[in-house]
Structure 1
């Protein structure tokens, strides 16, 4: 079985440009279209100011659809942020969580989205209870499988079992490629060094990660090496990241409908040093995946203390890499961060 993988972008990739006011929503959509990345994913809170505390004005929804038409782009997913543990100082009750999820489903439907991303911490009971409403709206709810969780984690298995028991086709998964962190990201390492980690300790942590040394041993060894502060913080990242196997997606492919193309750095020769995208795309092809891989750049926070953040260029490079890996001609238009 084969599928045609499509390219998209999560506008989360452009956090810096959004919050510094360097680009408008139209700039983002136009830039993605110029890259040939026609799928658009959003986090409502970032793209539509006031959401979810306030309804998004109808004219903003109309403007959104006009941009989709103008640039030939496709609404893919709304990333819901059900923060059930921070509601008037208490945990939200089940019915309140379901009501919140239904509101996100309605918002996604208004934007013409096909999917709602659920945070991995949301319980299967909430998503199963929300599934009938999603079915009515033509939406699928996708649990984001995000590091440190993975497809063999009991919490994800519990979700998978609940989805099958429900019989609903509106429940699925959205794997985040950050769970396949096969090397310690160079931009992470250099940030920890700038923050005060001795280079010899940083070198040790990087090598120990590549050797797949147990994270608890690495933390202990760094402490014995005299590590503190930034060095310990660097070691602690290993408790939350691992080099899981992309092939584990194959057993879940029937419920995988969108993919987060997490990346921390794209080099000039179009390589993500820490995540094996060549292997990942081969697995997706093998599984017959035909959805979008949406770029999700998160290297900004690791460099902004020392270097200009060039999110557009970073996304452009990943899109060029993805176009090659999915055997698609790469767009040659030079994207620009200049506002229209």
Structure 2
């Protein structure tokens, strides 16, 4: 099946290395380009120090564009992070919310982005109000559909209805593949075992997740098994994850313009053991999706108590998997240099 799906990376994937000063912005972009993942997505607060509280100097914007051109990459999305309902301990008034979105639209436009990502907590009325300004700037605002929400959740349906009623093509969705968590991730299990969850309780929770047992029953059963602390935390995660169906994206494909390729662990044989990427890619091809799948590694937080995360290697493995699933003639290099 022919397709126009492209590979990219959210630089959020390299958060450990960025925070520790091991990778500069150029390292992140060059590493991604070396993998053939030429779509670059950022979280403004991570990539540009001081954003959004402080302005970003034109010199830093120029550096961004120079690096994008140097490594033949494409700016994809600026993911903004403000949670408008509770901002600095207060509710943000509607007009201030809209003004804040417009500020991120301007920033995305300065970076040459096609999209900006909105957190799922933002009310659709705010995005609808900002849509005409986004149209003027050539930007689309994408609400992230992120677990435990999904395309059949009332809040997401409310957004979909508001977007259609607005008639604006500047409003859309950015699905996070973490909502298709078909099995309890092994890196989650291993972390909870290190924290003291008895193996028989961990085994029960994993099996209950696979059997799609209602999370409230699992939590109750864990309590009755004598589970406390980490055991209850492990069971509680069932409330925040779900094995929703990738095919539900098809009804919304006309408004899906970017994909977060969430993953928690890539094995040495290039498999994400908990998220069915073969089925995901099949659905995206079927729906005629023509945007980027941007790697978003979040397994680091589950292993850093026991080992140093190697985000670059994890991203490389996912890019190999994606290249194969997309039917590309070549696959990313087996070794990825970070330093120039």
- Write the deviation string for residues 67-89 of structure 1: whole angstroms up to 9, x where unpaired: 01100000000001122134342
The aligned residue for residue 202 of structure 2 is 202
Equivalent positions of 1:290-309 (< 5 A) are 290-309=290-309
Listed as ranges, the gaps of 5+ residues in structure 2 are none
CA distance in 2, matches of 1:303, 1:334: 22
- Write the deviation string for residues 297-333 of structure 1: whole angstroms up to 9, x where unpaired: 0000000000110000000000000000011121336
Checking the alignment, whether the CA contact within 8 Å between 1:34 and 1:334 is kept in structure 2 is: no
SS in 2 for 1:200: helix
Checking the alignment, whether the CA contact within 8 Å between 2:316 and 2:332 is kept in structure 1 is: no
CA distance in 1, matches of 2:115, 2:271: 29
The aligned residue for residue 163 of structure 2 is 163
The aligned residue for residue 78 of structure 1 is 78
CA distance in 2, matches of 1:5, 1:204: 39
The question of 1:49 aligning with 2:55 is answered no
The aligned residue for residue 335 of structure 2 is 334
- Write the deviation string for residues 231-253 of structure 1: whole angstroms up to 9, x where unpaired: 00000000111100000000000
Checking the alignment, whether the CA contact within 8 Å between 1:142 and 1:172 is kept in structure 2 is: yes
Checking the alignment, whether the CA contact within 8 Å between 1:266 and 1:273 is kept in structure 2 is: yes
CA distance in 2, matches of 1:151, 1:3: 23
CA distance in 2, matches of 1:88, 1:29: 32
User: Cα distance, 1:112 vs. partner?
Assistant: 0.2
CA distance in 2, matches of 1:204, 1:65: 51
The aligned residue for residue 217 of structure 2 is 217
CA distance in 1, matches of 2:313, 2:87: 38
The question of 1:111 aligning with 2:108 is answered no
User: Cα distance, 1:334 vs. partner?
Assistant: 2.2
Listed as ranges, the gaps of 5+ residues in structure 1 are none
The question of 1:252 aligning with 2:252 is answered yes
The aligned residue for residue 23 of structure 1 is 23
The aligned residue for residue 187 of structure 1 is 187
Checking the alignment, whether the CA contact within 8 Å between 2:85 and 2:122 is kept in structure 1 is: no
User: Cα distance, 1:41 vs. partner?
Assistant: 0.1
Q: Normalized against structure 1, the TM-score is what?
A: 0.98
The aligned residue for residue 66 of structure 2 is 66
> Which has the larger displacement, 322-331 or 136-145?
322-331
> Which has the larger displacement, 191-200 or 57-66?
191-200
Checking the alignment, whether the CA contact within 8 Å between 1:179 and 1:242 is kept in structure 2 is: yes
User: Cα distance, 1:172 vs. partner?
Assistant: 0.2
CA distance in 2, matches of 1:119, 1:276: 24
Checking the alignment, whether the CA contact within 8 Å between 1:179 and 1:243 is kept in structure 2 is: yes
CA distance in 2, matches of 1:187, 1:88: 34
The aligned residue for residue 134 of structure 2 is 134
Checking the alignment, whether the CA contact within 8 Å between 1:82 and 1:122 is kept in structure 2 is: no
Checking the alignment, whether the CA contact within 8 Å between 1:266 and 1:318 is kept in structure 2 is: yes
- The number of residues matched between the two structures is 339
CA distance in 2, matches of 1:36, 1:193: 37
- Write the deviation string for residues 39-86 of structure 1: whole angstroms up to 9, x where unpaired: 000000000000000001000000000001100000000001122134
